Amino acid sequence: MRQVVWTVLAIVGLTRPSEGEAGEPGRDNLRPDAVVALDGSGDYRSIEEAIYAAPYRGPDRRWVILVKPGTYRERVYVQRERGYLRLVGEDAATTVLSAGLHANMPDVDGRRLGTFRTATLHVDGDGFEVENLTIANTAGPVGQALALRVDGDRVRFRRCRFLGWQDTILLNRGRHYFEDCYIEGHVDFIFGGATAYFENCHIHCLRDGYITAASTPPWQTHGLIFRRCRVTGEPGVKTYLGRPWRPHAMTVFLHCDLSAVVRPEGWHNWGDPSREATARYAEYGNRGPGADRSGRVPWARELGEDEATLLTPERVLAGPDGWRPAVLPAGPR
């Protein structure tokens, strides 16, 4: 089994660099501590089993779990005390975590399950990291159905795919960083009260709807920030960039490529004109047919250059601990 694993490691860049070699920027080149494989060639057959078996480690020494290709049909909960883990798939196209709960299903007591208990992956732990993995809710267009729910802090996703329809990603609290990810849905499919930064991500709209539904608290400076992202959609689909789930929603699109899928008005007030005075919606430097601001609602702003330059991952996500999400920790093995 280990012979196969080291071949895979060479592909995903998890082996140590040779002596005198700096290593690829943005990777910590750690070897895996555990391997998950459906065919039994690893240490575990289940992703959740591997997470529950991981020992506690602090932020300077993450436990690395390599997930080999396959479709893992399970729901995974990352407990608060198991946050400092790094979950790495070989390839997001072939390594899939999948479940299909939706809000209208009955729970064990016969009551409606509700949105917040449907997540395929639920992260409570701080410092959790995921790379090269597809996280899917396969319930389809039947109502709210989460692929991802995050309640931890300093959670990072790289080269991941998030598949769903309504409410694909719930970022409930904390600070989070998404880089080179693909996210699809149709109604409020990126939502919540967290501060989250999306860098170079592909946002794809499956039907008419709304991309974001932020619920940013009024005292929180930042909500959902999209930089250098691409917004596309299925043929004939039209979408809003966002609508305020709560009155002080904060969402910004910077230097993004907005296709014709984006409606000319850009933003929606959720049927409540009073939110036009409190929602914090802005754009800067976007391009494409959906970036034309001539038809935008008057209560959404065009940022000035001085404001836009301040919206970097380092500034937006720093917090009191100075988190730098674009740099992977190089902790010891």
Asked if residue 78 and residue 32 are part of one domain, the reply reads yes
Distance CA 101, CA 202 (A): 25
Q: Could you give the angle at the alpha carbon of 288 between the alpha carbons of 135 and 275, nearest 5°?
A: 70
Q: Total domain count for the chain?
A: 2
Q: Which of 43, 188, 257, 272 is catalytic?
A: 188
For residue 328, being part of any structural domain is answered with: no
Asked if residue 264 and residue 235 are part of one domain, the reply reads yes
Kindly report the backbone phi and psi dihedral angles of residue 185, in degrees, each rounded to the nearest multiple of 5, phi listed first. Answer: 170, -165
In the residue annotation, 167 being an active-site residue is answered as yes
User: Any idea what the CATH number is for the domain that residue 258 is in?
Assistant: 2.160.20.10
pLDDT at position 17: 30
Instruction: Give the global pTM.
Output: 0.90
pLDDT at position 82: 84
Asked if residue 211 and residue 174 are part of one domain, the reply reads no
What is the token pair recorded at 98? 């999948």
Asked if residue 188 and residue 136 are part of one domain, the reply reads no
- Residues belonging to the chain: 333
Asked if residue 149 and residue 260 are part of one domain, the reply reads no
pLDDT, tens digit, 9 for 90 and up, residues 125-178 = 999 999 999 999 999 999 999 999 999 999 999 999 999 999 999 999 999 999
Asked if residue 151 and residue 230 are part of one domain, the reply reads no
For residue 94, being part of any structural domain is answered with: yes
pLDDT, tens digit, 9 for 90 and up, residues 202-246 = 999 999 999 999 999 999 999 999 999 999 999 999 999 999 999
pLDDT > 70? residue 22? no
The residue ranking higher by pLDDT, 30 or 311, is 311
In the residue annotation, 306 being an active-site residue is answered as no
The range of the structural domain enclosing residue 88 comes to: 1-19+28-106+114-180
Asked if residue 240 and residue 97 are part of one domain, the reply reads no
What is the token pair recorded at 246? 């709560």
Asked if residue 283 and residue 271 are part of one domain, the reply reads yes
Q: Which of 28, 109, 167, 292 is catalytic?
A: 167
Per-residue confidence band for 259, with pLDDT thresholds at 50, 70 and 90: very high
Per-residue confidence band for 59, with pLDDT thresholds at 50, 70 and 90: confident
pLDDT, tens digit, 9 for 90 and up, residues 67-102 = 999 999 999 999 998 889 999 999 999 999 999 999
For residues 320 and 18, the answer to whether their CB atoms sit within 8 Å is no
Distance CA 161, CA 132 (A): 8
pLDDT at position 33: 96
For residue 320, being part of any structural domain is answered with: no
For residue 164, being part of any structural domain is answered with: yes
pLDDT at position 58: 81
pLDDT > 50? residue 1? no
For residue 195, being part of any structural domain is answered with: yes
DSSP string spanning 132-150? S-EEEE---SSSB--SEEE
For residue 332, being part of any structural domain is answered with: no
For residue 146, being part of any structural domain is answered with: yes
For residue 329, being part of any structural domain is answered with: no
Distance CA 125, CA 154 (A): 9
pLDDT, tens digit, 9 for 90 and up, residues 100-116 = 999 999 998 999 999 99
Asked if residue 209 and residue 161 are part of one domain, the reply reads no
258 SS3 class? strand
Pick from 165, 180, 195: which residue ends a domain?
A: 180
Asked if residue 133 and residue 40 are part of one domain, the reply reads yes
Asked if residue 176 and residue 189 are part of one domain, the reply reads no
Pick from 131, 149, 180: which residue ends a domain?
A: 180
Asked if residue 44 and residue 10 are part of one domain, the reply reads yes
pLDDT > 80? residue 23? no
* Residue whose structure tokens are 């719930």: 170
Distance CA 9, CA 27 (A): 13
